[in-house]
A = this chain, B = another copy of it.
């Protein structure tokens, strides 16, 4: 029997962050994407209950709104951490480049550079699911006004890398603030009000320049902590 991949979507309520746990059904090798420090124990409990073996800890980018659970998970499980090589994060076992692949069992995790929200954002494709971090959100995008962000670059990343995927590919973002859990490439091409619906790059740049967002509440702690996989913050909180 052709078993389907083990897939769990988890939500961290304070930062509205989605964490994803996937495991190869045959070997039980698992990957976690965008873990959050505060929910590491919940995620470890689920990993134990599912009887899967955490192999990789991925982050789509250096988050500004929450502290990654990567360092704590790495210390507690021995799993290997991975993030874009451009993120210049300490304690990363696999600095990833565009087109790199990691494997859980025979299941490939393909890494694509999708900069623009930050200069080192990646998206990860596993079977028919793309994990877009804060590049492409559901009917939205990540902001582009700090961490080397660029609206022009983000437009190109989404159009050239993400919208190039088949229509039915499921989109799982790093956050959602409206209670959506997934989308598809087809829906985002048609209905994303920022860069779908045939919007041009200049229209997108104008939309983004007019957002005038406040800084994330945790940016002062999160950015330095995430450059060391969340380990500094953990020590401070002990």
Contact = CB atoms under 8 A, between A and B. Distances in A.
Contact of A49 (B8, B178, B187): B187
A42 interface: yes
A190 interface: yes
Q: Is the contact region of chain A dominated by helix, strand, or loop, or is it mixed?
A: mixed
A179 B49 contact: no
A85 interface: no
A182 B187 CA distance: 23
A11 interface: yes
A179 B38 CA distance: 12
A9 interface: yes
Contacts of A191: 49
Contacts of A8: 180-182
A196 to B, nearest CB: 11
A50 interface: yes
Contacts of A190: 49
A178 to B, nearest CB: 6
A191 B48 CA distance: 11
Contacts of A9: 181-182
Interface in A25-79: 39, 42, 46, 49-50
Contacts of A207: none
B10 A180 contact: yes
B10 A179 contact: yes
A145 interface: no
Interface of A: 8-13, 19, 39, 42, 46, 49-50, 178-182, 187, 190-191
